Chains A and B, each alone.
Chain A
Amino acid sequence: MSETPTNPTSNNEGTGDSAPPPPPPASPYGSYSTPPPPPPGQSGMPGAAPAQQNMKATIGLVLGGIGIVMALCCSILGIFLGGGGAALGYLAQQDIAKGLAPQSSKGMAKAALIVGIVALVASALSLIIGLAMGLSNGFRTSL
């Protein structure tokens, strides 16, 4: 995908010999040996399995992000969300290490793990503060 420069108009003047020769523009005669590759994703088998693994990192990151917000109020919910987000990030990293998920989701998996742990720790701290304030003395201020 990334190494098919098809810009025959501008790039060839100033760069001298370092510019790669432009590929032949897909001559309609005699080039039956190289069919064009199928579009990535969308159709066929190879794009299908990694998308599922990518979802683990995505959902983990969303859960962790909400968990950080929840640490301020519903600390118990924040612990669940942070733990779930961190676990999903960890599982996504395992899948990437096994080659079940694309390397491109590596950063998102790591982010999900870190954000989830941050949410978990922040929620635990908030829960301790809440308990130190005493159990709720009126339902309007309970969870």
Chain B
Amino acid sequence: MARGAVTLAVALTAAGSAYLYTHDPHEPGHFPPCVLLTATGYYCPACGGTRAAYDLMHGRFVESLHENPVVVLGLLAALVFGVRYWLRRRQRAAGKAGQGAGRMRPWVPIALGVAFLAFGLLRNLPSLSMLRPI
């Protein structure tokens, strides 16, 4: 059950990444529109994230930071946390326990989530318009 869900998630992510790599979101027609931006004109915390991921895939790091810095940093952080989690699993499986050391504290994901939502509020302020996507 759990293994099947992980396999499904990995397969969906791979398929989505392949589609994104080959379809430029800067051009219209490849991706569904943002309901929030179309309806209200407000930017959500992830606005520009698709374009940022596309730019990142094609090696345009600075452009991706301009589109959405938080999504770029979040992808890098997810990579770091994922590798760390995998390494710790391997260590535990090998018996080299290290039980308490390096364990993530519960406030870390909560703080990251709150910071993400706060970014969405900040980028809608007129004085912080440089946080908006290009």
Contact = CB atoms under 8 A, between A and B. Distances in A.
A, B bound: yes
Given A55-B106, A91-B2, A139-B25, A66 B50 contact: no
Contacts of B38: 133, 141
B130 interface: no
B46 A87 contact: no
Contact of B27 (A58, A59, A139): A139
A72 B36 contact: yes
Interface in B7-64: 9, 12-13, 16, 25-38, 44-47, 49-51
A130 B51 CA distance: 18
Interface in B69-127: 99-100, 103-104, 106, 109-110, 112-113, 116-117, 120
A60 to B, nearest CB: 9
B35 A126 contact: yes
A135 interface: yes
B67 to A, nearest CB: 10
B8 to A, nearest CB: 9
A85 to B, nearest CB: 11
Interface string A110-143: 0000000000000000110111011111111111
Contacts of B110: 58, 62
B128 interface: no
B24 to A, nearest CB: 9
Given A73-B46, A77-B46, A77-B49, A137 B28 contact: yes
Nearest 3 CB-CB pairs, A to B?
A73-B44, A130-B32, A73-B36
19 contacts: A48-B100, A48-B103, A49-B99, A62-B112, A62-B113, A73-B37, A73-B47, A74-B44, A75-B35, A76-B32, A77-B46, A83-B9, A87-B9, A136-B31, A136-B32, A137-B28, A141-B37, A142-B50, A143-B34
Interface of B: 2, 5, 9, 12-13, 16, 25-38, 44-47, 49-51, 99-100, 103-104, 106, 109-110, 112-113, 116-117, 120
